[in-house]
Amino acid sequence: MIDDLQTGARTWSHLTLDQRTRLLGRVRDSVATVAEEWADVAATSKGLEPGHPLRGEEWLSGPYATLVALDAYRSTLSALAKGESPLRGVKTDAAPGGRLRAQVFPLSPIDGVLLSGYTGEVWFEPGVTEAQARRTAGLAQLTPTEPGGVGLVLGAGNVTSIPVLDVIYELMAHNRVTILKVNPTQDSVVPVFERALAPLIEPGFLRIVRGGGDVGAYLADHRGIAHVHITGATPTFDTIVWGPSSGAGAAATARRRREDRPKLKKPITAELGGVSPIIIVPGEWSDADLRFQAEHVATMRLYNSGHNCIAGQLVLLSSDWPQREAFLDALRAAFDAAPARPVWYPRSDEKLAAAASDYPSATWRGDGTRAFIEVGPGDDATAVETTEYFAPVLGIVTLPGNGQEFVDRAVAHANDELAGTLGANVLIDPVTQAALGDGFERAMADLRYGTISINSWTAFGFLTPTLPWGGFPGATPQNVESGIGVVHNALLLDGIERAVTRGPFRPFPRSLQPKSLSRSGGRAFSVLPKPPWFVTSRTGAAVSEGFTRFRMDGDYAKLSATLIKAFRA
């Protein structure tokens, strides 16, 4: 297979940008052909039987995410083929700290309709100029005849679009053909992948293999592999780079780390998880606001049964917020109301047992699998702040302060106390955000995370292909944090620091209220009711499928029917 890919790497270097655009069009057609089976197999493999209200998750995080990414990459290739920058027509302005910011979502009217009120920004590293950003946009597609060799992608086991998107990014950003080693949890989806990605497999741009850690280790060390990319957990990354941390090889691993001599002798990039904060900025919220944002937080934790690297794990609340207890009551109710589902990811039982051991006072919500940990003033928050449970475990930590004082304290706490730098969520009402003004934006600039979501969830950043996805820059193999490098990034931008997403604090029709329209830093108006990815959405499964089918066929009549269902969420 690796020999075949070596030939494929040379073939890829002879394709023009137009040919690559058409090839991605063929992949798009094959993904659309298998989309229904893809969603069905993925949902069933996670214990979501036909008719389950959360099966829509597998439409959105599988074929939908793949289709919108393919469309975005095709648009980028088309621009480059015409001699244009992928940033042509994209509005740029200044972000705090001397940064350049590009408004990369929405870029089409249909995005503005399906995700009304949501925006996405790319913040470049300080010092990057607009001319530089436009000139370097395109990455390896600026030099399409230079082959990138054969890369290894060690696929994630939790979300089915991740390995597919990682493979496509290797081709687009690096001209690198790929051998994909699928996580065993996704073995059942491999036949679907093989048909969906047949246009890449046939010419030798991709091979797919199964197997456990031994197969991954063999491939990572293979002399024919030029680069490794992994989506997973820090311990797996460390084992690949440095060696085993226990057993017979532990002493040699420790010595290699001390001497900074990695076992892996080739470059590696990684997208890893962490403990994602949910910062609740105190304000004056209505009962409806409390319920909606409690369901929002419950979704951040319970989507995919908590088996997400971007699942919100730690809520930061103000002890001085008069509505603190009312919000916690609403959050408990939302945890109880979310539909029951299996906790399916391997070793989740151990993670839940660890949470129960770490926090004997935790309450267990819903069907008894959802841990609700309220860390008291004298309690030790270390475990919930540094352990990525990757299961339905939610911690609540209280900090003093109101207004800017609280925001600054919460930002510092997230930066200094929590493990990882992948994503942070911030919920703030429009009146409070307007009152804080530039101080709030400066605080967001101080928040050291790869994706910051304001009144939205970082999963929206994952789902938006024109945004980069990865940990905050600066990680090293010695201290990998939430990873090295980025993926997605369909505009193929260089010198990027982070993504920032913004959403409506209130859904339609409450978004029409005057106090919802005064927000600084982005639009607060939205015609979107409760989003279909909310775990409490009554029509989420049908709407998620409908949105995906629209991306497949562009049928506006059917989309109208889907939008009617959305308003019954």
User: Residue 511's pLDDT is what?
Assistant: 83
Q: In whole angstroms, give the CA distance from residue 132 to residue 440.
A: 28
Mean local confidence (pLDDT), 319-340? 97
Q: In whole angstroms, give the CA distance from residue 152 to residue 225.
A: 7
User: Residue 82's pLDDT is what?
Assistant: 98
Average pLDDT, the chain: 96
Is pLDDT above 80 for 350? yes
pLDDT class of 514 with cuts at 50, 70, 90:
low
Is pLDDT above 80 for 516? no
231 φ/ψ angles, rounded to the nearest 5 degrees: -110, 120
Mean local confidence (pLDDT), 471-476? 97
User: Residue 548's pLDDT is what?
Assistant: 98
pLDDT class of 527 with cuts at 50, 70, 90:
confident
Is pLDDT above 50 for 215? yes
User: Residue 519's pLDDT is what?
Assistant: 41
Partners of 102 in the beta sheet?
Answer: 92, 122
pLDDT tens digits, residue range 390-418?
999 999 999 999 999 999 999 999 999 99
Mean local confidence (pLDDT), 305-330? 98
pLDDT tens digits, residue range 260-309?
999 999 999 999 999 999 999 999 999 999 999 999 999 999 999 999 99
pLDDT tens digits, residue range 178-211?
999 999 999 999 999 999 999 999 999 999 999 9
Element housing 208 (H / E): strand 206-209
Mean local confidence (pLDDT), 464-488? 97
Is pLDDT above 90 for 221? yes
- For residue 497, what are the CA distances in angstroms to 416, 464, 471, 487? 19, 16, 9, 13
User: Residue 319's pLDDT is what?
Assistant: 97
Tokens (6 digits) for 447: 């928040």
pLDDT class of 522 with cuts at 50, 70, 90:
very low
SS (H, E, C) 232-277: ECHHHHHHHHHCCCCHHHHHHHHHHHHHCCCCCCCCEEEEECCCEE
Three-state DSSP class for residue 187: helix
User: Residue 521's pLDDT is what?
Assistant: 43
How many other CB atoms are there within 10 angstroms of residue 353's CB atom? Answer: 12
For residues 132-150, one letter each, b for 16 or more C-beta atoms within 10 angstroms of the residue's C-beta and e for the rest, the string is: ebbebbbbbbeebeebbbb
Is pLDDT above 70 for 238? yes
Is pLDDT above 90 for 54? yes
Tokens (6 digits) for 362: 């935790």
Q: In whole angstroms, give the CA distance from residue 209 to residue 205.
A: 14
Mean local confidence (pLDDT), 48-63? 97
Q: In whole angstroms, give the CA distance from residue 195 to residue 155.
A: 17
User: Residue 517's pLDDT is what?
Assistant: 54
